[in-house]
Amino acid sequence: MSLNPNSPKLTSWVNISPDTDFPIQNLPYGIFSIDGHPPRAGIAIGDYVLDLSKLQDSGLISIPGLPWGVFAKSTLNSFIGLGKEITNPVRERISELLQTECEELKNRVELRHECLIRRDEVTLHLPLQIGDYTDFYSSEQHAYNVGCMFRDPDNALLPNWKHLPVGYHGRASSIVVSGTEINRPKGQQKPNDQDPPIFGPTRLLDFELEMAFVIGKGTELGESISTTQAEDHIFGLCLFNDWSARDLQKWEYVPLGPFLAKNFASSVSPWIVTLEALEPFRIAGSKQIPKVLPYLEYSGNKNFNIDLEVYIKPEDSEGIKVSHSNFKYMYWNMNQQLAHHTVNGCDVNPGDVMASGTISGPREDQYGSMLELSWRGTKPISMPDGSERKFINDGDTVIMKGYGRKNGVKIGFGEVVSKILPAKS
């Protein structure tokens, strides 16, 4: 009998490095293509991608309610929209097929070679058709830091901040997959109080270290999702870099504007790690004072102990780690975010993305943006090539990583990698 998909005792007949982000306990979903064939769904396992379309065609994935050909589509929307009653048994079946003792796929040598493709031989695509995107502002340390900079330490958090998860509706069309190069955005800035605004490329380009959750099963207009129901609708998570142009942002709206300063690009990792794979990393969240309203109350451990790292690599030089934060530093958890998002009857759809907001820990090396790490440019960060960074330069590559470790098992998210190019003329 197969073991629980999260069991640390699980081993696979696939050759897997001990420090991989993608052991058999993970099995994240993505969309890939190879040799000019159309994009289709796959699962990451070690250094390989498992072709789910070929696996379903072979008859080895046969789950009641799973439509034929759902893995041959160019996005995961149709699959994740089926709900946990379908997607969870699929994960359990794939885990079973990859376990050491299972010979159903292992002994079918030709099929095995067709289904398992090295990751360095495939092209990874944006895994979702993202209809809507919401960005929250849910890390207390980040909100406090920004409030100190743009207001004062005694009034760093606005009066509503500890009563509801602050968020805004963002631009979905400019969310791009890891590896997509980003041109420096242009817009209005006001360098000083005396002179009129100017127009040009942002001088203060910044990253924002975030996680994002993906909606699986959707709702109808007028329906609300409670904190208890939320996890039935959250398919999984990915890394999210919500790029920001701080000078455009400050001029657009005080304290920080979310229009042109934010809508030029957001970068996501190509693999979606299921909520079920993250079960071992659940921990308690912050004690919320004052007491929240009833619709935001929840029970159980809803935060996750996921290490997050940010690296900056200048062009033609070595990179350096500039931040080591953790997803556990969230004041408002995903269940509360989704409950608040839908309490007014807002509907959600498969593939909708909801980002956490910048994740900053209590120490300076745990801050999740250059705005905080360099404290508005007053504390430059030294690079290995002798240069300094207050914000992100042209030619810089920003790399974000995420992973949890427990009982000898590492569950990783891969990377979200983006290089900054000069502004277009």
Burial label, 20 (beta-carbon count in 10 A; 0-12, 13-18, 19+):
middle
Report the alpha-carbon distance of residue 37 to residue 421 in Å, rounded: 30
> Out of 37, 113, 125, 142, which one is annotated catalytic?
142
Amino acid at 413: F
Which one, of 74, 82, 81, 72, lies nearest residue 51 by Cα? 72
Number of neighbouring beta carbons within 10 Å of residue 66: 17
Residue 58: both structure tokens together: 């072979």
User: From its phi and psi, is residue 21 left (phi > 0), alpha (psi between -120 and 50) or beta?
Assistant: alpha
* One-letter amino acid for residue 293 of the chain: L
Q: Smallest Cα–Cα separation from 10: which of 78, 127, 114, 95?
A: 95
Q: Is 142 considered catalytic here?
A: yes
Name the residue with tokens 């004052």: 290
Under DSSP, the state recorded for 146 is: H
β-bridge mates for residue 30, sequence order: 42
In a 10 Å sphere around its CB, with 0-12 CB exposed, 13-18 middle and 19+ buried, how is residue 279 labelled?
middle
The catalytic site residues sit at 142
